[in-house]
Amino acid sequence: MPDDCLFCKIVSKQTDTRFLYEDETYVVFKDIKPAAPVHLLLVPRAHIRSINDLEPSHRSLVGGLFHLAAKWPGSKVWTVPDTNCCSMWNGAEAR
pLDDT one-digit tens code per residue, 81-94: 555 555 544 444 44
Residue 79 in any domain: the answer is yes
Q: Is residue 57 part of a domain?
A: yes
Question: How many domains, in total, are found in the chain?
Answer: 1
Q: Domain containing 70: what range?
A: 6-89
pTM of the model: 0.76
Contact indicator for 83, 50 with CB cutoff of 8 Å = yes
CATH at 55: 3.30.428.10
Question: Under DSSP, is residue 19 helix (H, G, I), strand (E, B) or coil?
Answer: strand
94 found inside a domain: no
* Best CA proximity match to 88, nearest among 26, 16, 46, 45: 26
Angstrom distance (rounded) from CA 1 to CA 49: 11
Question: For 43-83, what is each residue's pLDDT tens digit?
Answer: 899 888 888 888 899 899 988 988 888 887 776 666 665 55
Is residue 42 one of the residues assigned to a domain? yes
The alpha carbon of residue 12 and the mean position of all alpha carbons in its chain are separated, in whole angstroms, by 13
Count of C-beta atoms within a 10 Å radius of residue 27: 21
Is 44 a member of any domain? yes
